[in-house]
A and B are shown apart, each in its own frame.
Chain A
């Protein structure tokens, strides 16, 4: 069966500043075919597709639609070539009905005829097997209904090439099944479909071909029927890279933090954390690996007292007195005073923990302002602390009174991590502390963590880069979909093993939903 190539990319390259997001990526998708783009976080999947949909413009490379070279400079051009992208974050107006959102921005010379549009929407829903009430307001809809609106929006505009960015990330297993059925219907009717995903089982159950990206580079395309999970995982994570991070043997390990069976449920009733159990020990670095948004943030926040815990308990064992205390009943301030410190570096770096417009001294004071005795602020101690951090961590700044937002990303992170370490914690949680840092700054942070470990601090390190996790951590716990997928020894594990655990959990989750939790490991 000869199918026509609908979209072809050749040697696409895109850089943001000095960061290479895509390098020489090529792919093709035919009509009546589903192509998966597989890759870890930050491997450039979304960037690549944003270029196809006209949001970014490639630095180099060619795009072909139906065999002809095209230039897509804006989302309007993408519409013109019948490319429709369904983003991970829906672009919908809450107070509008589904139909109003679908026709938004449409130019129609024949005038504005809502009943006619609704009729057409009903035709589309019937044709592909969607379930949607065109008159329902968006704010009354579930996530999956909103996604349906987004998909119909692009179909309504006559899209022939559909790109879905992580469409199942927000869906329940049942909704996923429904979505896949609809996608298969679209494939039957000759649409070319690209889905971006990092879930292996979806790739295997849905797509015809898989294109794998690894750190922005093209790792290859394989036919789904001729591949398996192990091969795809290897393509995804690549060969091991040696980093030479020094790792000392843990000494005098005692249990410091025992997390016992905690669960958290968000407002929509979705489980963010599901019976998580583990133990963090002093003098050890416990790594946490997982796809972004698998519950890492919620777990750390639960320990720090910032997240409401629905079930379970967190026992903190005081190193001096050996007394056990349940952190669940404590306020964040009390937990902090016990020595449990959280340094979370969010995507935008400044979002949590530091105030951009305040200088380094003032940011130090955020943690100590309650110590003062008079009504006036005492700037002396925080100032010397700030200067100490600047000197010790080699923060590049004109002075300690420079607003934090004027520092470069790496220096901001040093200030954040430095402040948490300066309080001589007993438990140090660092989430993505090297996010966006250059190699040298990253090593400064690794050394800081190692230093703390030698001092007998229980360090919990949430990281993105598997190579770093393997070289830095004594134990690595893999989290997926709010559950612990497994714990491995950092000294004799492989990237493939961790990679499989990361991607597999959500699959098992789906298969035996509500089943036993026997794939959890506890210490």
Chain B
């Protein structure tokens, strides 16, 4: 049973890992994007829409090209979520709108878009299916690695997931490497820590802010796509994604802005999320209390890092502040 719990924890944690990696990249440029929950919804519905239209266009599921079945939703998701990031950037970087207000507005907007299209896609194509269920596409997304069922517990824990789980981990590792070991990472961090210093050093602050926010949003969008295609077996249900977007933002704080810690953090959060289901005879109210745990852990981390007050564990110094180049 432990293996099953662990498996579920990883699967629960994957959307969070995508979300938090994306948000970390964004925050490293000094932008607190509270639109992440909405962006993940948009990422999900864009992928679903692309996939749905593709499934509708082929005569029968057997004729679907597995390569296209993956590529189309993937691209749609990246573009949809990336566009949301672009809206956020235009408002906060170019127009210097308040980041928190913009982010919250995008979250409301994104969830709305998700629910609207989730309910109305079917009517658009005059189909007779009762709800969107992309079972064929989902099966391709859920394809396990080879030998997953032949290697016992090892296969179950490490090889039994759809490819997006591995993508999430690889993206987190690559992000860590870029942030800490490359010139681009150094420049990006300097933009988030002290944009005026970066500007004086000849770094294009606006370009870095735009790129990191849009790329971060696209990565976060993948979290939404994973949820629908893999975790939910390709079935779209309104508000099904729940509060995972907020959990991703909590995970950013929990991991102290390090994608590498996010990998383990996401599994921990996932574990805390699924654990009540495995406790026998648990009451509904106790279950709700368990759902609080990731947030409680996050608050604990916040308290501890604040007390220790180590500079490296603090958020980027210019997080949330608009940057004006000083002019006279």
Contacts and interface: CB of A to CB of B under 8 A. Distances in A.
A binds B: yes
Interface of A: 16, 56, 75-76, 79, 91-96, 100, 103-106, 108, 112, 137, 139
7 contacts: A56-B328, A92-B197, A93-B193, A103-B183, A104-B203, A106-B183, A112-B186
A103 B197 contact: no
B196 interface: yes
Given A76-B202, A94-B317, A96-B189, A112 B194 contact: no
6 A-B pairs with least C-beta separation:
A105-B201, A112-B183, A91-B197, A105-B202, A93-B193, A104-B201
Contact of B328 (A16, A75, A93): A16
A76 B196 CA distance: 15
B198 A104 contact: yes
Given A91-B197, A95-B312, A104 B328 contact: no
Contacts of B311: 94-95, 137, 139
Interface residues of B, number: 21
Contact of B317 (A16, A56, A95, A104): A95
A1 B202 CA distance: 38
B187 interface: yes
Contact of B197 (A93, A106, A137): A93
Interface string B297-321: 0000000000000011010010000
B203 A105 contact: yes
Nearest to A79: B202
B200 interface: yes
Give the secondary structure class of B's interface: helix
Contacts of B194: 91-94
Given A75-B202, A105-B198, A96 B193 contact: yes
Contact of B190 (A56, A93, A139): A93
B108 interface: no
Interface in B174-212: 181-183, 186-187, 189-190, 193-194, 196-198, 200-203
B321 to A, nearest CB: 15
Nearest to B194: A93
A111 B197 CA distance: 22
A116 to B, nearest CB: 13
Interface in B247-281: none
Contacts of B328: 16, 56
Contacts of B203: 104-105
Nearest to A90: B197
Nearest to B185: A112
Among A75, A93, A108, A139, which residue has the most Cβ atoms of chain B within 10 A? A93
B200 A103 contact: no
A41 to B, nearest CB: 17
Contacts of A94: 193-194, 311, 317
Contacts of B189: 93, 95-96
B182 A104 contact: no
Nearest to A137: B311
B180 to A, nearest CB: 10
B202 A91 contact: no
Given A103-B186, A104-B186, 17 more contacts: A16-B328, A75-B202, A76-B202, A79-B202, A91-B194, A91-B197, A92-B197, A93-B198, A95-B311, A95-B312, A96-B189, A100-B186, A104-B197, A108-B183, A112-B182, A112-B183, A139-B311
A489 to B, nearest CB: 39
A92 B181 CA distance: 19
Nearest to A21: B328
A114 to B, nearest CB: 8
Contacts of B187: 104-105
Contacts of A105: 187, 190, 198, 201-203
A135 to B, nearest CB: 14
Nearest to B192: A93
A91 B196 contact: yes
A93 B311 CA distance: 11
User: Which of A103, A105, A108: most chain B CB closer than 10 A?
Assistant: A105
Contacts of A108: 183
Contacts of A95: 189, 193, 311-312, 314, 317
Contacts of A103: 183, 186
A16 B327 CA distance: 11
A100 B197 CA distance: 12
B190 A104 contact: yes
A91 B205 CA distance: 15
Nearest to A112: B183
Contacts of B200: 75, 91
A76 B328 CA distance: 19
Contacts of A16: 328
Contacts of A91: 194, 196-197, 200-201
A95 B312 CA distance: 6
Nearest to A53: B200
A91 B193 CA distance: 11
A106 B314 CA distance: 26
Interface in B199-237: 200-203
A100 B189 CA distance: 11
Contacts of B196: 91
B257 to A, nearest CB: 11
Contacts of A100: 186
